[in-house]
Amino acid sequence: MHYVSDGHGEPVLLIHGLFGNLDNLKNLGSVLIHNHQVIRVDVPNHGLSEHWDDMDYPTLANAMVQLLDQLNLTATHVVGHSMGGKIAMAIALLHPTRVKSLVVADIAPVAYEPRHQTVFAGLTSLVFDENTSRKSALTHLVSSGIDEGTAQFLLKNLQRTESGFEWKMNLDGLINAYERIIGWDLPISADVHFNKPTLFIRGGDSNYVTAEHRDEIVRQFPQVTAKTLNGTGHWLHAQKPEMFNRIVAEFIEQNQG
């Protein structure tokens, strides 16, 4: 698994969301690195990490634990956004001794209805040929019904080849795994929970974490505190980075040792 590790102090593992890469939480990492060893990963099927035909949260959690072993880290603070938040929660529930504290950004420990059909349709219908450019790719994605901000984010996955462009991410693998990505199926009994400090941060304008998710969050993470960033949507860490970074850094500082 491709990763970047830098800095010294209690380690913090940063895990990005669907279609992202290790640069998504780089801004947060630049704040934490003053007091911590910061590890940013490309989740499998993303960035420069290996391509898997299939992926689910237990397997992804195991991959993250193997990385901790590789880095000789007994336990770490874990921060995850969206899909990365689900990976972080899976590590905490399946491997609780490896997690010092947990920060989950705008996702709940529940199964969701599909909500990326337009994105997948736009990505899969983009034809790469000698005429493809970043501009033409952006035009195609926007004309497919994807808003420009999301389209620009997706195009960070484009990489040049000798003959033009291709996706860095494993699009087929993500499509194959999509039901498990939006699901929440862990091999644990209903009474298993993570009983260490946990922070949920949600975007005030986002519909990813709602009041109906509260009982499941508290059941699985009984030591949870929650904060809402007003004026932000699902991309809260990019929309109000200074506030997001400060909240995360303060929480981790409070739970060191």
| Residues annotated as catalytic (active site), given as ranges | 82, 234
Measured between alpha carbons, how far is 251 from 117 in angstroms, rounded to an integer? 35
User: What is the distance in angstroms between the CA of the first residue and the CA of the last residue of the chain?
Assistant: 28
Measured between alpha carbons, how far is 20 from 12 in angstroms, rounded to an integer? 18
